[in-house]
A and B are shown apart, each in its own frame.
Chain A
Amino acid sequence: DIQMTQSPSSLSASVGDRVTITCRASQSIDTNLNWYQQKPGRAPNLLIYAASSLQSGVPSRFSGSGSGTDFTLTISSLQPEDFATYYCQQGYSTAYTFGQGTNLAIK
């Protein structure tokens, strides 16, 4: 299986900050990388697919980049509702593995 490693595992930031989360795949997955946001007690929500495509309805402050093995999720200006846990997921091959998650907390 392809292993997905996110960093950092947690970070604290303030409203208005620019935040970047990274995800590394154990082998090349081209641009088959997706990002999700999950809030406590809720199902995950798809933010970015195919590394850089914004899912319909997701605010434009979210963006993604990368290809091959290294990817990033950037939030350009944090809003109060963005404090949550973020997961990357490879969509290249079954099993569709997820990263371990990045918990984004308020500083």
Chain B
Amino acid sequence: EVQLSESEGGLLQPGGSLRLSCAASGFTFSDYTMNWVRQAPGKGLEWVSGISGSGVSTYYADSVRGRFTISRDNSKNTMDLQMNSLRVEDTAVYYCAKGRSGWSVRFDSWGQGTLVTVSS
């Protein structure tokens, strides 16, 4: 059974930093692109970032490029999101999501999500 579990979020001030982690099990981690998707309170879903199975290729939404960095450790089956220069508008539940490609890039397993609140 695929399991994804995000680390605890928190309350941060604008300009602050936080590193989120996602621990994966139940599948061959290095075979799959992994992603972060977020959801602001009461709002819709926004894809944030993705990383290829090897970790060589990374992708970012324009809203976070230059501030967030995605990485993975295939020896530990973990993925991280380093979030710097946080803004109030980064407040959201952050989900890690396992990607599938071929016949449309999609997210077929999700973690439970972790809340990141950015407020002064």
Chain A residues proximal to chain B, CB less than 8 Å: 1, 31-34, 36, 38, 43-46, 49-51, 53, 55, 87, 89, 91-92, 94-101
Contacts and interface: CB of A to CB of B under 8 A. Distances in A.
Given A89-B45, A94-B59, A43 B113 contact: yes
Interface of B: 35, 37, 44-47, 50, 59, 61-62, 95, 100, 103-108, 110-113
Is chain A's binding surface mostly helix, strand, loop or mixed? loop
Is chain B's binding surface mostly helix, strand, loop or mixed? strand
Contacts of A46: 106-108
Contact of B106 (A34, A95, A97, A101): A34
Contacts of B62: 1, 95
A89 B95 CA distance: 15
A98 to B, nearest CB: 4
Specify which of B37, B107, B111 lies most central, judged by the most chain A CB atoms within 10 Å of its CB: B107
A56 to B, nearest CB: 9
Nearest to A51: B104
